[in-house]
Structure 1
Amino acid sequence: MTRLTTNSQESTLGDVLAIGPGIYLIPFFQREYRWAPDKANNLLDDILSVVDGLVDKHFLGAVIVHGRRANPTDPKVFEVIDGQQRLTTAFLFMAAVVKVLANCKEYDEAAKLAQNYLQIGRDYRKSNLRIHSSRLDRSMMAAVIEDLRSDVKFCEALKPHFLNALPSYGPNRGPIRNNYNRFKRFFVDEFEQGGLERVRQIYEVFLNSFTVVQIDVIDPTDGPKIFDSLNSKQEPMKIGDLVRNEIFRKVSDEAPEKVERIDEEVWQPFYSSFEISGVSHFEKFLFPFGLITDPNLRKSDVFINLRNQWNTIADPVEIIASLDRYKTPYLDTLFGSNRSGFPKDVSLRYARLAQLGAPSSILPFTMHLGRAVIDGEVGEEAATSVLNVVESFLVRRAIVGHEPTGLHAVFKRLWSDLGGDVCAASVERAIASHKTVAWPDDGEVAAAIATRPLYNSAITPFLLLEYDTYHGGDALGSIETIEHVLPQSADADWKKSYGEDFVASDIDALPNLVPCTGKMNSSLGNQTYAMKRTRFTKDSKFKSTREFGGANQSWDRDAFLKRAEQLAIWANGRFPHGRPTQRAGPDPLLD
């Protein structure tokens, strides 16, 4: 069994904070520290319960981290996925202990506690604190450190290493500073009651009797899964959050103003462009993007793969630019909106892929192709012919009822299978080389049109709109509703008029379906065909529906079968590509 973690043992806070020459790195853009006064007060009550012997110990919860590989000369870095609130609170509590001891002139004791639990021996990325806070907390953490450093004699006891906070800017008041001051007041009160021994008793209990489970995940993308399994009430990190944190990690020690500027001017415009109708499509972009460089990539390995790609890139702008190259072909495949500025015929093909609800498995290929068109590497005619093949292949499968299962294997490496020969014939051969992936022939398509219940199929609105266009219709947008000519709840009169060979499955089959507006659909119901025909002919905005009424004086099984034949001829002509026939010579993609 593959393990998700390298360690998940319960540890005391003392052991967690005193991690040797190691630090806890809270990603630059992670949410801010939010411990409210009631939570801080509850913690103090829990501490006193242990100190006064009411309970033996207290469990604070889990801390999920990812131990990053570092240079041998660097300290061990634990990137915090969850547990920021607990770790920061523990750090503030011990900072308050140090301050109170320094105020009591116990400089050696204060310095030793600071060296063990607040700092490492030397600076790492401009700070030697054991916790590197996120951007929103750095000014407040710097204010806490400045309060400790204000005692000159304490600083002398710390030599040769001082406490150095990360560069920061912005407001320095908020929960971090508030809780630090709250903890200081708590110790002053306890000192007045029991002197230094009481203070020591409290911090020893805190370090030795308060525990957490530190979970060190091998893959940081497993952090959110473990987070969910622990039933945390906080919002878990998403893969997109991990990507953003990774991109900015290499400059997290730069001046915050610089990092913020890159975020506001480069990252945010890039990220927000994935939001369509209030829904972000960035998360789903990452897997097909990863497949572009590694067709064998597993979805669970996306983040690790991307991180490895970016190891040698120090500039966040360069990383974002590499992602941005494939953004518009991705969105155009999903929505057909031509953000890529494709030529007219190419744009139309992408729009049709979006309209037919093409499976996401095609994305690595359409993203590759779209980028090649943008870069001028593939011409309009070649791209159009290739997309025609893909569209026809998908539509035929949808008509016959084949699930998209197996298409991932086809499209994840289709671009590389072409070997630079980007044309319709090469795409046909490459798809056909997957012997277990069905590519329905004309007979299968005709049979499915006549017999399959396509009413609830996702492909049906696309087919009816394309059929309407074939008849010269100009109805823009999508089909509002689909009308059953033979009603879904056909009464005795309808069944009689339809014929003695009435077949229930005909009701939801394509020949019995016509596009119409929602208003017309609700008013037709179980009306006789004569009444429906009048409405179809005179009132429908769809030309194919008007022509249906004009061509069919009655609607019975014979008319149904005749229309089934007409639709089959149209569909096989409109989506003409089938599995290539046997060739005289060997084909390297097939053999």
Structure 2
Amino acid sequence: MSTDNLTYTLRELLIERDVRLRVPSYQRAYSWDRNEWQIFVDDLQEQADSAYAHEHHYYLGHFLFEPTREGRTGLIDGQQRLTTAMLFTAAALPHLSTEASALSGQARAVLLRAGVPRLLAVAYDQRIFERLLERAVNNERRLVGGSTTAAQSKMTRAVDFFTEWLNEQEDVSLIAGRLLTTLLQAQVTTFTVSDARQAAQLFELQNDRGRQLTDVEKLKSYFIYQLYLKLPADEAEGAIDRVHRCFEDIFKSAPHIMGLSEDDILRFYFYAQHGGYQNDSVLHVLKARVKEGQISARTILDFCEQLSQAFTFIEEYQRPIHGAAVANLLRLDAYPNVVYPLLLRAFFQMHEGDHKLSEVWPTIIKISHVLEKLVFRFALINSRARETDRLNEVLLDLPLDARALESKLSNLLSSSGYWWYWRDEAFIQSLEALSYPNRRAIYLLWQYEQNLQRRGYEVAASEVNLNELEHIAPQTENQNPKPGYSNYHDVRFNQEHRNLLGNLLLITRSHNGSIGNIAFSKKLESYQQTPLAQQREIVDFFEEDESQRWGPKQIQRRHNHLVEWAQKRWSFSQS
């Protein structure tokens, strides 16, 4: 490494020394959020308000540089702080008074040089970053849209945050000028390493000073460093460019995937393609394999391309276009560590085999139907046993035929030992005990509703309150002389029946607010006017010699009916 260890103000570094910077491809994208933005602006204001501000410069931090290449110096450490400084400048610049022309000129020079940004962000985020700076320099009010990655969204929101913060100040022009002056006079220390290979290694080893790196971001830098080590220089750049494109696709997909982090998907992909559920620490395992000589440059490229495909597949899987089987599994929202590795395993098996592209999604949908049965059983029984230990053999030898998969799971669920917790006996016991407030009761009743609606009116999930349930016999006692419910002073009714599945109904949002704990006869009338078939069905639970009164007998009869239906709905075929 060189000894270029110097101190500058931000204005000296960027304007007087005319330094132009780029974020190397192994770096993570912009990741600061509201908490860091608030700290940033609070620090600037505290410095600007200090009585000794003229004596002590604000310290913006240490910047670690790569050697200059093609007119630009690589920024290894300091990207988050410098990017935020430029985004704040972009937000403050339009607020400067006409008298502050010198400061305004310096601010513009910090952002752009001859119309080109002083800092080039990672390639896939650069266009949004550039448009934000151009808008400020040209004093334009047009919105900046088109963001597709999380980093692009955060850049746009950072400018909005700083703009809103400035607008809340009593004298916005004065505050904008004072804080920009403080920022341009802020001190930075710099250090330059000797070559790009050392830079990648240093980034991979260093502790990040801002938001914690995800394992996906760490993996990107680690793989790029390994490619520097494993390939001659003329081959390394092309290979690194391929890795960069893979992670560009990953970071574009990630914000559109619901309920899963980047590291979740990395882990699920690793389960599916690199050894099963037994490997929890992906980075640790990969580094150990590199050390043992098991991972070549070709392996790294294949890994990155498949990881990118895994993100794309999950993004596509979550789109509402694949029918009831996928929609049910997503709505169940349980055991993603079971579901996604199995789906990814099937996806990659088909891609690596002789299957036609037209076969992929029909097969995935059929497998989803089988997995929904398994996951509902897991969720309902909720054993402390680790499900993935039992499923490892299924993952590693996954049948692509849904019937064969169902038969394999059925045989396992019928065996003793490892699978004891989820056998049919345990499943039936859990169904019979299902009661409020177990949220699996809502899912069961939703599936029951779909079954009833199959040949009639299809009620949309958006019309139903899937966070609350209607108690037919209400939770709060009705005080009318003849409410039509059981005796609320009956301990057995309160403990055994009032919250039982048989006393629960799905309800539409509009219906829920209109009935409360009214008398049962009035409720029954309202049930006849609803689009929900299970509410209209309540009248069928009265035998001919029964009055229309809702109590333990009717609740238990309906409960038994639902349990029997659920056993069939979530049973596993032996064929």
- What range is the shorter-chain TM-score in? 0.5 to 0.7
Aligned to 2:569: 574
Aligned to 2:276: 295
Is 285-294 or 239-248 further displaced after alignment?
A: 239-248
Other structure's SS at 1:273 match:
helix
**Compared with structure 1, are the counterparts of its residues 38 and 576 closer, same or farther at alpha carbon in structure 2 (3 Å cutoff)?**
closer
Question: By percentage of residues, which structure has more helix?
Answer: 2
The partner residue of 2:419 within 437, 440, 453 is 437
Q: In the alignment, is the contact (CA less than 8 A) between 2:61 and 2:78 conserved in 1?
A: no
The partner residue of 1:487 within 474, 482, 485 is 474
Whole-Å Cα distance in 1 between the matches of residues 270 and 416 of structure 2? 22
Q: In the alignment, is the contact (CA less than 8 A) between 1:29 and 1:134 conserved in 2?
A: yes
Aligned to 1:451: 433
Q: With structure 2 as the length reference, what TM-score do the two structures score?
A: 0.55
Aligned to 1:134: 76
Deviations 1:324-364 (CA, angstroms, capped at 9, x unpaired): 3333543466x3635xxxxx6xx542322112123122121
**1:426 alignment partner AA:** K
Post-superposition offset of 1:509:
1.9
**Compared with structure 1, are the counterparts of its residues 488 and 328 closer, same or farther at alpha carbon in structure 2 (3 Å cutoff)?**
farther
Post-superposition offset of 1:135:
9.6
The partner residue of 1:245 within 211, 218, 221 is 221
Other structure's SS at 1:497 match:
coil
Question: How many residues align structurally?
Answer: 407
Other structure's SS at 1:423 match:
helix
Aligned to 1:367: 344
**Compared with structure 1, are the counterparts of its residues 416 and 476 closer, same or farther at alpha carbon in structure 2 (3 Å cutoff)?**
same
Whole-Å Cα distance in 2 between the matches of residues 85 and 412 of structure 1? 48
Aligned to 2:513: 522
Post-superposition offset of 1:556:
1.2
Q: Which has the larger radius of gyration?
A: 1
**Compared with structure 1, are the counterparts of its residues 496 and 427 closer, same or farther at alpha carbon in structure 2 (3 Å cutoff)?**
closer
**Compared with structure 1, are the counterparts of its residues 416 and 488 closer, same or farther at alpha carbon in structure 2 (3 Å cutoff)?**
same
**1:497 alignment partner AA:** Y
5+ long unaligned stretches in structure 2:
7-22, 33-39, 83-114, 121-179, 191-200, 543-547
Q: In the alignment, is the contact (CA less than 8 A) between 1:482 and 1:514 conserved in 2?
A: yes
Aligned to 1:498: 486
The partner residue of 1:414 within 379, 391, 394 is 394
Post-superposition offset of 1:288:
1.0
Identity of aligned residues (%): 13
**1:575 alignment partner AA:** W
Whole-Å Cα distance in 1 between the matches of residues 337 and 398 of structure 2? 17
Other structure's SS at 1:361 match:
helix
Q: In the alignment, is the contact (CA less than 8 A) between 1:361 and 1:407 conserved in 2?
A: no
Whole-Å Cα distance in 2 between the matches of residues 330 and 250 of structure 1? 28
CA RMSD of aligned residues (A): 5.5
Aligned to 1:322: 306
Whole-Å Cα distance in 2 between the matches of residues 502 and 180 of structure 1? 72
Post-superposition offset of 1:487:
0.9
Other structure's SS at 1:237 match:
coil
Aligned to 1:354: 330
| 1:273 corresponds to 2:278 | no
Deviations 1:382-438 (CA, angstroms, capped at 9, x unpaired): 766654443223323433x32474112133442224478853222333455672334
| 1:536 corresponds to 2:527 | yes
**Compared with structure 1, are the counterparts of its residues 396 and 571 closer, same or farther at alpha carbon in structure 2 (3 Å cutoff)?**
same
Whole-Å Cα distance in 2 between the matches of residues 173 and 551 of structure 1? 71
Q: In the alignment, is the contact (CA less than 8 A) between 1:489 and 1:526 conserved in 2?
A: yes
Whole-Å Cα distance in 2 between the matches of residues 456 and 415 of structure 1? 33
Whole-Å Cα distance in 2 between the matches of residues 447 and 276 of structure 1? 39
Post-superposition offset of 1:573:
1.2
Deviations 1:530-569 (CA, angstroms, capped at 9, x unpaired): 111111111x221222222454433111111110111122
Whole-Å Cα distance in 2 between the matches of residues 469 and 498 of structure 1? 30
**Compared with structure 1, are the counterparts of its residues 337 and 403 closer, same or farther at alpha carbon in structure 2 (3 Å cutoff)?**
farther
Whole-Å Cα distance in 1 between the matches of residues 250 and 494 of structure 2? 54
Q: In the alignment, is the contact (CA less than 8 A) between 1:396 and 1:439 conserved in 2?
A: no
**Compared with structure 1, are the counterparts of its residues 490 and 505 closer, same or farther at alpha carbon in structure 2 (3 Å cutoff)?**
farther
Whole-Å Cα distance in 1 between the matches of residues 62 and 47 of structure 2? 11
5+ long unaligned stretches in structure 1:
1-12, 18-24, 50-59, 61-83, 92-118, 141-168, 185-216, 339-343, 582-591
Other structure's SS at 2:296 match:
coil
Deviations 1:19-39 (CA, angstroms, capped at 9, x unpaired): xxxxxx987425799999999
Post-superposition offset of 1:367:
1.6
Whole-Å Cα distance in 2 between the matches of residues 279 and 566 of structure 1? 34
Q: With structure 1 as the length reference, what TM-score do the two structures score?
A: 0.54
The partner residue of 1:546 within 503, 515, 536 is 536
Other structure's SS at 2:326 match:
helix
